[in-house]
Each structure stands twice: as structure tokens, then as C-alpha cells.
Amino acid sequence: AQTVTQSQPEMSVQEAETVTLSCTYDTSESDYYLFWYKQPPSRQMILVIRQEAYKQQNATENRFSVNFQKAAKSFSLKISDSQLGDAAMYFCASALDSGAGSYQLTFGKGTKLSVIP
Amino acid sequence: GAVVSQHPSRVICKSGTSVKIECRSLDFQATTMFWYRQFPKQSLMLMATSNEGSKATYEQGVEKDKFLINHASLTLSTLTVTSAHPEDSSFYICSARALMNTEAFFGQGTRLTVV
């Protein structure tokens, strides 16, 4: 079984500043994947960034980067140069093969990010 | 990225009636589809996982006779809420994944209101 914990229900950041969202997870598997999803007010789930557990290098996508600490089971998301459009709910998720190649996602409870103009 | 279309986006139905929600993968073959339920200001709760041509696997506590899932083709899965009641009002989201692909693509969601 997997669990994903996001300990920050809400965060805020000034526009153009940097913010870090925390996530920890628990799994006994060695092969798994980690994701950050964004859910804006439209409620469409949007993939922000993904990390393969077997890769030591932290994933980066433009202004978004992660700090993946496998031993600590930590997977934080850093948003640089925050923009108003970054305001949303952010969900951390983990996935492992639940059988027949069906990677089932387990979500954290989410962090609501507000961006202050 | 791949596109998953979910329809309808909003539906209001009377208590006791059934409602069908469709989830289509438009440009890839979705061997696995997932159905989630999301309550206001909460996370996504997995209801069931369906593989094309097989019966869906329901999560603990989800009534399979109430939430009928069909995944008859590689591009279409449906969720039917049978004999809907006001407590079934929620936001339902589907996601789809191609074989051995670890990334899931999400539909736009369906807001169901039972009156």
C-alpha cells in the first residue's frame, strides 16, 4: 500500500517569488513514479512534473523543479518566478504497477497555492 | 499530451434516476481507465480501475452495483450512477492510460447534482 502526505493545506507566494510545496510518501516498492498535478479552478487535472524513482537526477520543467530525496521518501515541488496562473490546488501523487501494467495513482490531500500580485 | 474527453461536464438528475458519464481517449488506446470521485476541497478518491474487456476492480467501500463501469473498447469507458440519490452528488473524474505508460491523462470531470 502507498500513502502520500502533503502537510501544507494552504500556501501563498508573492508574484515572481519562489515557493516550495512539500510531499512525503511511503512505499515498500523499489520501482515507482512520483508526480505533481495542478488542479486550477476549472478542475482539469494537469500534470506538472514527474520523477522516476530509479533516477537520481531531479526532474525539471521550466519554472518547476523537484527535490527528490529517495531515502527520506520526500518529493517537494519548487515553483520559481511564480505567476498568477500558478494559483491552484497542487496534488502530489505516487504510482506503482498494480498489475497488468496498470499504474494506479495515490494522491495526497493537496495544497492550495495562492499567488499574491 | 494525449486528450481525454469526458462528457457531460455537468448534469442534474432527479433522485432515483440513472446517469451515464462517458470517458473517451481521443488519440490513444486506453488499456486502463480509472474513475475518481472528488468532494469539495478534497483530494481525488479512486473508485475503480477498469482494463479493456475485463470487469472493473472496485475500491473498498464503493458499491459496484450502484456505480456500473463498462470499458468495452480501447477508447471508451462509461460510469453509470444507478438510482442516484442526493448523497451521490459530487465531481467525478476519469483518467486513461495506455499500456505500460505510467502517465495518466485526465478528463475534464463531471459535476453531478442529484435533486
Residue pLDDT, tens place only, B94-107: 999 987 777 889 99
Q: What is the mean pLDDT of residues A55-71?
A: 95
* pLDDT value of position B99: 76
**Cell numbers given for A34:** 512520483
Q: What is the mean pLDDT of residues B20-30?
A: 94
pLDDT, position B35: 97
Task: State chain B's maximal CA–CA distance in angstroms.
Answer: 41
Q: If pLDDT is split at 50, 70 and 90, which confidence band does A101 have?
A: low
Q: Which residues of A touch B42 (CB under 8 A)?
A: 109-110
The closest CB to that of B97, out of A102, A107, A109, belongs to A102
Nearest by CB to residue B102, choosing from A33, A46, A107, is A33
Beta carbons of B104 and A105 less than 8 Å apart: yes
pLDDT at residue number A99: 61
What confidence score (pLDDT) does residue A98 get?
Answer: 63
Q: Does A110 touch chain B (CB under 8 A)?
A: yes
The answer to whether residues A113 and B58 touch, using CB atoms and an 8 Å cutoff, is no
User: In terms of DSSP bridges, do strands A88-97 and A111-116 run parallel, antiparallel, or are they unpaired?
Assistant: antiparallel
* pLDDT for the residue numbered A2: 82
**CA B13 to chain CA mean position, Å:** 17
Please say if the pLDDT value at position A100 is more than 60.
no
pLDDT digits (tens, 9 = 90+) for A24-58: 999 888 889 999 999 999 999 999 999 999 998 99
pLDDT score for B42: 92
